[in-house]
Every structure is written in C-alpha cells, then in structure tokens.
Amino acid sequence: MTLNGATKTMTDSYCSCKAGISGESAHLRATIMTLATWLLEGYREVPAEQSSTSMPQIWDKPRGPKVKPEPVSQRLCASQPPLAENDDH
C-alpha cells in the first residue's frame, strides 16, 4: 500500500490473496480501517502491542458463571425430533 502524505490519498495497493488481484481484498480494507481508527484516536505512530508472553497469564482467571454439578439421573436428556419431510401428496 502506498499512501501520499501530502494529498492524504492512497496511490497504490496490492494484496497477494486471490481477491487482492482485483484490488478488492478484505486485507487492504482492514488495513485502511485500522489506520483510520488510529488517526481518529490521535496516534502519531503505530501503537506498540504487548505480546501474550509479556502479559500476565490468564488461564486461571474466572470466565463467568460456572455450571453446577448435578447427578446424571436428574439431567433432562431429550433428542430433537426429525425435520418433517415435505409431503406433496
């Protein structure tokens, strides 16, 4: 992607995916949307993102309500009825 800072326009773009040949790549669109978001949020350079290994681990953090254990004999199990076939008779 080539951007012209003076005119604030994109002068050229290319993506190696199949859709990129026509210039309609979702990758290009996502890149443009990300750049626009950063500009609107006032960033003057690409924000540094921490890698997952630089952040505290999260695998033991609670994720919401837990499923309470219950005896299998009290579990309601039901099968879904088969879809009705189209009867043209």
pLDDT digits (tens, 9 = 90+) for 50-69: 777 777 877 777 777 777 77
Angle (CA) 72-76-77 rounded to 5° is 95
State what percent of residues in the chain have pLDDT above 70: 81
Per-residue pLDDT at 26 exceeds 70:
yes
pLDDT score at 29: 80
pLDDT score at 1: 76
Q: Regarding predicted confidence, which is higher, 22 or 38?
A: 38
Q: Which two tokens stand for residue 20?
A: 């990129």
Least reliable range by pLDDT among 1-5, 17-21, 53-57: 17-21
Per-residue pLDDT at 88 exceeds 60:
no
